[in-house]
Amino acid sequence: MTTSTPTLADVIFPEQANHNFSRILGDLKRTNLSITNRLKSIQHDASFVESVADALQLPLVANERCGSWYIDPARKTASAYFKSTDGHTGQWKFSTRRINLHLLGVIGKHDGCIIVDSTRRGKRHPDALSKTVPTWCTVLNRVLFPDTPSSHRLYVPPNAVSDSEASQISARLPDFVESFLSLKIDLAPLRAQLSKPLRPFWITQDDTLDLDPAGADFHPVVCCTSSRRVAGTELGEGGYIQGAGDDTENWALGLTAQIWWRHKGELLSTPEGELPELIERLVSDEGSAGDAAGQVRKVAPVIFVGTLQSAATQLNTPGTCLVSLLSKTTAQDSWVKSPSHIEVGLGKSKTASRQLRDALPAICEFVSRFLNETQQLEEGTPAEKRVVILCESGKDLSVGVALALCCWCFDAEGKARAANDERASFTKTAVRVKLGHIMNTVPDANPSRATLQSVNSYLMDWRK
């Protein structure tokens, strides 16, 4: 009697063995995705980015949120805000919130730039670099170089975007151009910054880029994917993690790109088991240092935004109305602290954004009353009015309130409305135009969707 050799299909594992096998695989995956491996992977990818900058002699621009992890701050020229979701298949969009016009000055001055981003396992390029940036380049070329039709074509990486998808994006370009023009931004200063149209290029660790921009009839916008493409599982990659700087809320324990670059040597030399304690200390030290200088940024002729850390330097400043948006909830009858200072307790995150809708009437009324009161300096001359809005980040709630005030308290010429003026009905287009100007002035502002919904609801609610 002969017996056949058993195959793998004939082997029956006991249920406990299957359970242990799954646990072992899970442990291996968690070990591979350790903080140490992430930081080493970031260091590896940052070296590649630096080599690209050295080869092309172009300035580095970080596409946030994760681009700054891969760029030495000493070599970082600017930040950009191109969203991958604006390049997702079937959801292509030209963002009128994230118009990134500040990059035109960088590109014109240096004859191009390198935009740095990363992407998750298995992808060659992030959608932000393969589709959002190319769309941005083409829209701006059509607006700023209408008489150069050769620059109106959409360029996309052929190894990442199919001809069909490129054709569908191209069909939407006229609508994107109209959206941009609806912002009514003065085009002459933008055009003056560029001597020729924009043209995107792409480079990864698997590519070579043969590019000599000297004498070319375009400004190159080089889209650099910092992370090396990993096909399949990363367990066989020797600890390398593709897109290691992504999803920091899931692994970084509060560590930021800025802290990483300031303490890179100490972080890389610390054993994995001691990293959480070290990171906690570094984050705490950075937070206590803070921005004691109290810097605020102008978003409109008399409107400024900043973080709550700036409050001490803004209090009791002649001619300044201070609006502090606190990250705790407080009763409305406690908000007004003086004729020029209001502290509005909205809470945190989405709760604060939702509460903003009900707080805006009181805030706008308070600021309008301040702007219409005549204040005198000690010498008897009128004080120059300023409105300073502060929130925890200086980029979300404060920007939303600034947008509401620009619409509610000022007319089309930027003059303060009288308290009893009849307000014309606001439209989404009018609000979007104001927001576009704010975002152009403060490119890293990041008002959340919930914040903007509260502003729109307040301005366009007929029940007011």
Q: 179-211: per-residue pLDDT in tens?
A: 999 988 889 999 999 999 999 999 999 887 767
Going by C-alpha positions, the residue among 100, 102, 101 that lies closest to residue 83 is 100
Q: What's the pTM? A: 0.79
Does 13 reside within a domain? no
Residue 349, domain CATH: 3.90.190.10
Summarised one tens digit per residue, pLDDT across range 111-157 is 999 999 998 877 889 999 999 999 999 999 999 999 999 999 999 99
Segment 75-92 shows an average pLDDT of: 91
> How would residue 376 be classed by pLDDT, with cut points 50, 70 and 90?
very low
Going by C-alpha positions, the residue among 194, 197, 212, 228 that lies closest to residue 56 is 212
89 with 226, same domain: the answer is yes
Contacts by 210-213 with C-beta closer than 8 Å and gap 24+? 211/56, 213/56, 213/58, 213/111, 213/112
Summarised one tens digit per residue, pLDDT across range 389-407 is 999 888 899 999 999 999 9
Does 278 reside within a domain? no
Summarised one tens digit per residue, pLDDT across range 418-439 is 766 676 678 888 888 888 888 8
174 is in which domain, residue-wise?
A: 32-272
Summarised one tens digit per residue, pLDDT across range 289-340 is 444 445 889 988 899 999 988 888 887 788 899 999 999 999 999 999 999 9
For residues 405 and 17, which has the higher predicted lDDT (pLDDT)?
Answer: 405
Say which DSSP state 339 is in: T
3-state SS, residue 227: coil
215 with 327, same domain: the answer is no
The pLDDT value recorded for residue 134 is 97
Segment 268-290 shows an average pLDDT of: 83
Does residue 417 surpass a pLDDT of 90?
Answer: no
Cα distance between residue 439 and residue 395, in whole Å = 10
Residue 186 carries which side chain, given as an amino acid letter? Answer: D
The pLDDT value recorded for residue 21 is 45
In Å, how far are 299, 426, 451 from 412, measured between CA atoms?
A: 16, 12, 23
258 with 318, same domain: the answer is no
Summarised one tens digit per residue, pLDDT across range 28-51 is 445 556 899 999 999 999 999 999
305 with 218, same domain: the answer is no
211 with 309, same domain: the answer is no
195 with 261, same domain: the answer is yes
Bridging pattern class, strands 113-117 and 60-63: parallel
Number of domains, the chain = 2
Does 152 reside within a domain? yes
Taking the CB of residue 83, how many other CB atoms lie within 10 A of it? 17
248 with 198, same domain: the answer is yes
Say which DSSP state 441 is in: H
| Helices 428-441 + 449-460 axis angle, to 10 | 140
